[in-house]
Every structure is written in C-alpha cells, then in structure tokens.
A = this chain, B = another copy of it.
Amino acid sequence: MTATRTGRPRSEATRLAILQAAATLTTELGYDHVTIDAIASRAGAGKQTIYRWWSAKSMVVADAVIEGLLRLPALDLPDTGDLSADLKAWTTASAAKMGDSRFLQVVRALVTAATGPEQDASRLYEHIMRPTYEPLVARLRRGQDAGQLSTAVSAESVADALLGTLLFRALARLPMPETMTGIIDALLAPPPPPSSS
C-alpha cells in the first residue's frame, strides 16, 4: 500500500492537457521558447499543478514523448530476413528524420533530462530508449541465428554502435547515410583479412 488514500484524486484530464500543451508548444516554438507559464495557460491549468507533478520543463516534455504526444522519429525496424538490408533501410530512414530540427528540440529535452537525477534518467531510458533498443537487439540476435552476424560479438555491442553513431552524428550535424552503410557492412560481412596492401 504505497498510496495515500484521501483527498481529491489527480485529474487525468488536466495531466493530459498539460502534456498535450507541452507537445504542441515544443513543436510550434522549439524547446527553448516553451515556458511553464505558456504550458499552463494553454492547458488551462495552474502553474502549481505542473510543479506538483513534474520537477522541470524537460521532464514535462519527456513525459509528452513517453505519452506519445510528441513523436520521436519512428524507428520501426523491418524484418525481411535480410539483416543487412533491414539495417540499412532503418538507418537511412532514421538518419533522414534526424535532420529535422523538431527532432533536435526533443532530443535536447531528453538529454537535459538524462543528465538530471538518476531516477529521471532511468525513467527516460525505460520509456524512450528501450523501445528502440530492445527490438534492435532482438533483430540482431535473429540475424545471428540466421548466420548473418557473427556470434562472437554481442548483439548489444552492435546496437550500441548503431544507435550511438546515429546520436553522435545527429548532434554533430554530420552527414549520415553513407557512414552508416559502411559500418553495417563492416560488422556484418567482414572482408577477408588483408594480406598485402
């Protein structure tokens, strides 16, 4: 019994109105120009209601992401049986979305939240990163089962490298597709060791 029991219960309608307002304003104005006052006003809520449930603006935006009101680029990973083609299709599509400035606005909120208290960071990982990470690892494992990826390397390592590259180059604003193709080839179908260059 962790719950308190008396008192007016939290209003779900208000909670959603706040998250919706945060999502809308982030998309319209960009993360930096969103204010708590504006979120409250747009949501028809009091500021205290926001501060009662969220510790910072970044957490409100992060919750809007979790709630699905503010979409990160969808990263549905296909499974056609051809791991290499699937990964290339996925990274190419993902990379294309990374150039979207609205995406960077959201990423900024998430990174801000991620550098905050451990508890908040973990929550974000669970709700935002894991839904992308786990299917990717699973797909890589199926590729290993199919003999398309060496079992000498952990699927997690490859997933880290792929997601990390996307993150790194997105933040650095470097071009992406070719790079991703190269590393995928390197990991999946390594050439014979060079003997004489």
Number of copies of this chain in the oligomer? 4
Complex CA gap A112/B104 in Å reads 9
Please choose the segment from A16-24, A63-71, A72-80, A187-195 that sits at the chain B interface, where 4 or more of its residues have CB less than 8 A away: A187-195
Closest CB pairs A-B (n = 5): A164-B164, A190-B190, A153-B186, A150-B191, A164-B168
Q: Does A96 contact B (CB under 8 A)?
A: no
Residue of A32, A147, A153, A160 ringed by the most chain B CB atoms within 10 A: A160
* B153 and A182 contacting across the interface, CB-CB below 8 Å: yes
Residue among B148, B149, B179 making CB contact with A156, cutoff 8 Å: B179
Q: Which chain A residues numbered 136 to 166 have a C-beta less than 8 Å away from chain B?
A: 145, 147-154, 156-158, 160-166
Q: Does A110 contact B (CB under 8 A)?
A: yes
* A189 and B197 contacting across the interface, CB-CB below 8 Å: yes
Q: Does A93 contact B (CB under 8 A)?
A: no
Q: Does A85 contact B (CB under 8 A)?
A: no
Q: Does A107 contact B (CB under 8 A)?
A: yes
Complex CA gap A41/B186 in Å reads 52
A141 smallest CB distance to B (angstroms): 12
